[in-house]
């Protein structure tokens, strides 16, 4: 009996040793997310109220979640109701408030003579991949760092729907939607609307993904690209060289690990159980690489989005 127990015991000890070295640690949420939430709180950018309620930390499944979530049922001191409460992180709240006060309300007053008193939303926090596509990177929704807006309600009872009014040419409703979409591009780092792709025909996706910086401010992704006359002037360059153009960044793990590229079952011994061959040194000059005719970018350039009307 002792002989049969010892190998198992040694194996368990070995696994715990590997865990101490980081071999069995689970993937971790990118550190900048908690840092952004903590900075938002320390600057008192959000004040809890009957409409903005702090909630317990959401930790998982996987790396989904947020450190300081809030349940939001209204913004602008309760004057703009959200048709169903959403769970978002701290940073999204002041961004929504600023977009509303700087863009949405002035445009509504100018075009309709009344303010916006309600937002129709499809959802916010949802632990899922981009567009719910299998194997895609996790959406900003998975971190409460995004919201999907489907329409606006005016003080006189009128409702403006993105799916109905966006394409109405020469209408006040269409002009309003195009202007607030363009204005959102100055307050969020990702803004997607009808025409961005097949998934956004009926809502605006707004998020604060970390896309890096340029010499005129944060890097932003805005689709469809608004006409120049609707865009805010860019900030003055900071004196540094212009940032190079880059593909869409992937800053989180994929929802479904690709073979050999993500966390997965730990192979302790390899296919044969043998040690890997010894390294050898070849003094000959390396041959030039042979590239395929069409190397096909392996980068997933899909921006974050949502298609499901839910807030898990």
Element (H, E) at 17: helix 2-20
Residue with tokens 């898990």: 312
Portion of the chain with pLDDT greater than 90, in percent: 50
Query: Which structure tokens are listed for 55?
Result: 């909630």
Integer Cα distance of 155 and 179 in angstroms: 19
| CA neighbours closer than 13 Å in the CB half-sphere of residue 308 | 15
CA distances from 253 to 28, 140, 202, 300, 305 (A): 9, 12, 28, 12, 16
Task: Kindly give, in sequence order, each residue whose CB lies less than 8 Å from that of residue 34, ignoring residues fewer than 6 positions away.
Answer: 67
- Does residue 125 surpass a pLDDT of 70? yes
Q: What is the mean pLDDT of the chain?
A: 75
Query: Which structure tokens are listed for 119?
Result: 């937002």
Strand, coil or helix: what is 288?
coil
Q: Please tell me which of 69-73, 280-284, 289-293 the model is most confident about, judged by mean pLDDT.
A: 69-73
Higher pLDDT, 301 or 80: 80
pLDDT at 127: 92
pLDDT at 129: 79
Integer Cα distance of 240 and 242 in angstroms: 6
Beta bridge partners of 59: 65
Q: What is the tens place of the pLDDT at every residue in 144-171?
A: 999 999 999 999 999 999 999 999 988 9
- Does residue 252 surpass a pLDDT of 50? no
- Does residue 224 surpass a pLDDT of 80? yes
Q: What is the tens place of the pLDDT at every residue in 35-69?
A: 999 999 999 999 999 999 999 999 989 899 999 99
Provide the CA 230 distance to its chain's centre, in angstroms: 24
- Does residue 278 surpass a pLDDT of 60? no
Integer Cα distance of 127 and 69 in angstroms: 14
Beta bridge partners of 88: 70
Q: Poorest-confidence range of 28-32, 65-69, 135-139, 274-278?
A: 274-278
Strand, coil or helix: what is 10?
helix
Integer Cα distance of 92 and 148 in angstroms: 12
Residue with tokens 């926090």: 125
Higher pLDDT, 39 or 226: 39
Strand, coil or helix: what is 61?
coil
Cis peptide leading into 261, omega within 30 of 0? no
pLDDT at 170: 85
């Amino acid at each position: 009996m002792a002989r049969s127990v010892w190998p198992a015991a040694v194996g368990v000890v070995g696994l715990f040793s590997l865990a101490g070295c980081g071999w069995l640690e689970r993937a971790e949420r990118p550190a900048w997310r908690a840092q952004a939430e903590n900075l938002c709180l320390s600057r008192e950018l959000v004040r809890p109220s009957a409409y903005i309620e702090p909630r317990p930390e959401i930790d998982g499944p996987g790396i989904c979640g947020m450190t300081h979530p809030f349940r939001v049922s209204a913004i602008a001191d309760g004057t703009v109701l959200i048709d169903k409460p959403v769970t978002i992180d701290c940073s999204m709240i002041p961004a929504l408030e600023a977009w509303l006060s700087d863009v949405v309300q002035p445009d509504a007053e100018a075009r309709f003579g009344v303010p916006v008193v309600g937002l129709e939303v499809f959802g916010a926090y949802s632990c899922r991949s981009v567009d719910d596509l299998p194997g895609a990177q996790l959406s900003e929704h998975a971190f409460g760092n995004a919201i999907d807006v489907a329409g606006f309600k005016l003080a006189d009872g009128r409702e403006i729907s993105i799916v109905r009014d966006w394409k109405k040419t020469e209408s006040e409703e269409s002009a309003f939607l195009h202007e607030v979409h363009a204005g959102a591009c100055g307050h969020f780092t990702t803004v997607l609307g009808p025409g961005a792709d097949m998934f956004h025909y009926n809502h605006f996706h707004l998020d604060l993904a970390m896309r890096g910086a340029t010499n005129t401010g944060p890097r932003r992704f805005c689709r469809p690209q608004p006409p120049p006359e609707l865009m805010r002037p860019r900030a003055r360059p900071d004196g540094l060289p212009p940032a190079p153009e880059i593909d869409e960044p992937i800053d989180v793990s994929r929802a479904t690990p690709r073979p050999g590229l993500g966390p997965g079952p730990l192979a302790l011994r390899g296919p044969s159980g043998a040690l890997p061959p010894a390294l050898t040194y070849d003094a000959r000059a390396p041959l030039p690489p042979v590239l395929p005719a069409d190397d096909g970018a392996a980068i997933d350039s899909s921006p974050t989005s949502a298609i499901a009307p839910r807030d898990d």
